[in-house]
Amino acid sequence: MPNEEKKSFREKMSNCGHFCYNSETGEVLGRTANSWLKIVVFYLFYYGALAGFFAVCMTVFFTTLDSQGPTQRNMQSLLKQNPGMGFRPFTDVTKTVIKFNAKNPKEYEEYVKNLNDSIRIYTSSAGDNVVDCSGSNTGSNKGDSEVCGFPVSLLGDRCTPDNGFGYPEGKPCVLLKINKVYGWKPQTFDNETEDLPDALVGRLDPDYVGVTCEGESDADKDNTRNITFYPDKGFPAVYYPYLNQPGYLAPVVMAQFDVAPGRLLMFWCRAWARNIKHHRVDLQGSVRFEIMVDY
């Protein structure tokens, strides 16, 4: 097979220039002006039609949305009007354990910072639609667009930034909250004769969503000395329902744990109302975490 003659660099550049513009046929990049006009017009119509179709789809989609709340509500929503719970400090999304040595500030400073950040929004919240619902002012006359301000004084004097939320003394505070569900209003318990845990005895109030925390196993319960809640009765019901009001802040509860040192204890905290169902697997109406305190 005869060897093909290699083209010089000058010849290659000449061929390249000839492809870019052919002076004999008037072609540019292998196409005549008429061909380029046809392809440009085609793609203008093609992409214009796609853009128009997308705009129509988005217009139809946005007409189904409500700027004030979700389209699927109540039992039609995925949450089925059954809120879950959350807790702080939560410094690692892969872990639910709160583990520290009370004599080593470096081991709990991140927990304290996380709690500080969580309650800072309550100390700095202000707005024209925020009303005082504490004391004798129950907030029953507030409008739909008004929200109750949450005073951090409700969290007591044991779980505050001044005392490190109890971590320096080995009695950690954990912030509990009910996840926001649009339009959900608690149906609170008004008496203690119903099938309720002993931990709610003496703390039940129709103006509050009750809250309890207990050890998962008998060993966890035996190594738990005491759990104190601030506010003691739970979550004030006056803060519900959540209707996407500007400036709305969900009520919170601080739970302080006094536990035996050197043991990893698992806790299950639950919110209590007639329309809150509990489930151990998917944690409906509840939250789980672990605590281990060393000295």
Q: Is 229 or 131 the better-scoring residue by pLDDT?
A: 229
Peptide bond preceding 241 in cis form (omega within 30 of 0): yes
Contact 294, 102 (CB under 8 A): yes
Report pLDDT digits (tens) over 217-237.
999 999 999 999 999 999 999
Report pLDDT digits (tens) over 153-172.
999 999 999 999 999 999 99
According to DSSP, the residues that pair with 100 across neighbouring strands are 293
Query: Which phi and psi (to 5°) does residue 151 adopt?
Result: -75, 130
pLDDT band at 1 (very low <50, low <70, confident <90, very high): very low
Q: Is 4 or 273 the better-scoring residue by pLDDT?
A: 273
Whole-angstrom Cα Rg for the chain: 32
- Per DSSP (E only), the strands in 173-216 are 173-178, 208-215
Alpha helices in 137-289 (DSSP H): 218-222
Peptide bond preceding 206 in cis form (omega within 30 of 0): no
Instruction: Give the H or E element holding residue 144.
Output: none
- Cβ-count burial 32-59 (b if 16+ within 10 Å, e if not): eeeeeeeeeeeeeeeeeeeeeeeeeeee
Across 9-18, 34-43, 69-78, 95-104, the highest mean pLDDT is recorded for 95-104
The pTM of the full predicted model, rounded to 2 decimals, is 0.78
